[in-house]
Amino acid sequence: MLDYAIGNLRSAQKALQRAGADAHLTADADEIAAADGVVLPGVGNFGACMDALDGTGLTDQAKVAATSGRPFLGICVGMQLLYEWSDESPGRPGLGLLPGTIRLLPDGVKRPQMQWNRLAVSSHPLMRGLEGQWMYFVHSYAAQVDENVIATVDYGGPVAAAAARGNVWATQFHPEKSADAGRHLLENWVRTVADSIALLRQDHS
Amino acid sequence: MKVVRVIPCLDVENGRVVKGINFVGLRDAGDPVELAAVYDAQGADELVFLDITASSDNRQTTVDMATAVAEQVFIPFTIGGGIRTVEDARRLLRAGADKVSVNSAAVSRPELVAEIAAEFGNQCCVVAVDGRRSDRPGIESGFEVYVKGGREATGIDVVQWVRRVVALGAGEILLTSMDRDGTREGFDLAMTAAVTAAVDVPVIASGGVGSLGHFAPAVIEGGADAVLAASIFHFGEHTVAEAKAALTAAGVTVRPAG
């Protein structure tokens, strides 16, 4: 878990441990390079998070980890940082691992969306068993619903709740705060990490 | 889709839950982790811990409590009470709280709201507002901000105040009617409606719940995004699941319990 000194990271760490992962908070390049899977959390403002990533030297680490093929999971603003741009911080590039711009939630709904909402999911290993499950959201901006989106919720129309492209997966909601449904999602991801370790071992044997 | 949250509120002192928790079968009625787990199992959407620790020397106990709760309870929780500086907020958020709530410290120094929002984001900056009906001059909405647990009038209009704190960066308003708090007569719907009409951030209605029928009007008439209650849940009279069933029966969308 990339530790770039933002808000509450402990909850996500504890939830990953509960889901079976040996989860560490770290900003150490060697530890990140040796990890079987990498989590990019995030909370607050897009530009402030990118600045904090830069400030801790983790921007390149995040890009290297995401392009290495290892399982990579962005959470909340950590999902938004994966995209190219955000209207929250115009002119401040994101990591550019997913195409598109993060935009403000639609007019006519409260911003932030601060509530539980029910997922409509597409077929993807991260979303296995989660159709109709409830997750906790806190956000004012979201990715656009495009071909990478693997789950949506209804909030003034369909809103991107999760996305995936190759090994880079992400959730706009907070699985670490979404009770049993969130645990189920993290277990799906941890299982993917375990499977990829097994595949790597096969390749080497 | 607006999904209304049901939020039990727990008073804590020196890291222990105090004031009339009375469930059957609790091992330790003062253990915040055990109580949080009970409410989680009942379907609580969030929890609010109100720190009433008198001495600032003992504030570390609240940080320790946040750590313990965050390790074992996987729903969002807010801590309010005694937060006077960005550093106070940072300690609680780093320990695992999702949001912090400021009240009288924001009245004394409104910039605190802007400072917390700038540092950690609006989403974790809750401003708690204690209001009472008032016909004093200058209180145009008829509702006045009180501090010191509802004892001290400030001369500030509730509606003007919530607009101001939202402009400063508050991401949510926790609105308590000090006229209704403890009366079990139901929420102050007029005050709730005045505040939800004035700001576009989520508003939690609080103060006065005495029966299951009191929840839905806060949403339908008051426009609240969340409902908070203490004693109705603590004494084991009603569960969060029952509150959600009552809301659902009234046509309000909630996350189903269990």
CATH of the domain at A49: 3.40.50.880
Lowest mean pLDDT among A37-51, B103-117, B150-164, B241-255: A37-51
Interface test with B, best of A9, A89, A116 (most B CBs within 10 A): A116
In this prediction, the residues of chain A whose per-residue pLDDT falls under 50 are none
Looking at residue B190, its pLDDT comes to: 98
Q: Say if strands A149-154 and A120-121 run parallel, antiparallel, or are unpaired.
A: antiparallel
H or E stretch including A4? none
Q: Which residue of A has its CA nearest to B121?
A: A44
Domain assignment present for A107: yes
List, by residue number, the catalytic residues of A. Answer: 76, 174, 176
Domain that holds residue A101: 10-204
User: Whole-number mean pLDDT of chain B?
Assistant: 92
Binned at pLDDT 50, 70 and 90, residue B236 comes out as confident
Whether residue B21 has pLDDT greater than 70: no
Whether residue B28 has pLDDT greater than 80: no
Q: Report pLDDT digits (tens) over A144-184.
A: 999 999 999 999 999 999 999 999 999 999 999 999 999 99
Min CA distance, B254 vs chain A (Å)? 8
Min CA distance, A9 vs chain B (Å)? 7
> Which of the pair, B72 or A128, is modelled with greater confidence?
A128
CB atoms A115 and B225 under 8 Å: yes
> How are strands ordered across the β-sheet holding A141-142?
A85-86, A101-104, A141-142
Whether residue B169 has pLDDT greater than 90: yes
Domain assignment present for A1: no
Count CB-CB contacts under 10 A for residue B28. Answer: 12
Looking at residue B147, its pLDDT comes to: 93
d(CA B151, CA B179): 11
Q: Which residue of A has its CA nearest to B196?
A: A110
Lowest mean pLDDT among A131-135, B180-184, B194-198: B180-184
Min CA distance, A130 vs chain B (Å)? 15
Looking at residue B52, its pLDDT comes to: 86
What ipTM goes with this model? 0.93
Domain assignment present for A2: no
Q: Report pLDDT digits (tens) over B94-147.
A: 899 999 999 999 999 999 999 999 888 899 999 999 999 999 999 999 999 999
> What is the pLDDT averaged over residues B79-90?
93
CB atoms A136 and B75 under 8 Å: yes
> What is the pLDDT averaged over residues B144-152?
91
Domain assignment present for A23: yes
> Which of the pair, B27 or B214, is modelled with greater confidence?
B214
Looking at residue B19, its pLDDT comes to: 66
B1 closest CB neighbour out of A14, A154, A176: A154
Domain assignment present for A143: yes
Number of structural domains, chain A?
Answer: 1
- Go through the domains of chain B in sequence order and give each one's CATH number: 5-249 (3.20.20.70)
Looking at residue B15, its pLDDT comes to: 85
Domain assignment present for A193: yes
Looking at residue A45, its pLDDT comes to: 87
In this structure, are residues A112 and A75 in contact, taking their beta carbons and an 8 Å threshold?
no
CB atoms B123 and A110 under 8 Å: no
d(CA B218, CA B201): 16
Looking at residue B24, its pLDDT comes to: 59
In this structure, are residues A42 and A94 in contact, taking their beta carbons and an 8 Å threshold?
no
Domain assignment present for A173: yes
Closest CA relative to residue B217, chosen from B249, B254, B247: B247
Q: Which of B11, B45, B88, B181 is catalytic?
A: B11
Helix (H, G, I), strand (E, B) or coil at A169: strand
A179 closest CB neighbour out of B2, B74, B225: B74
Q: Which two tokens stand for residue A193?
A: 């990490």
CB atoms B98 and A177 under 8 Å: yes
B172 closest CB neighbour out of A114, A117, A154: A114
In this structure, are residues B45 and A116 in contact, taking their beta carbons and an 8 Å threshold?
yes
Domain assignment present for A141: yes
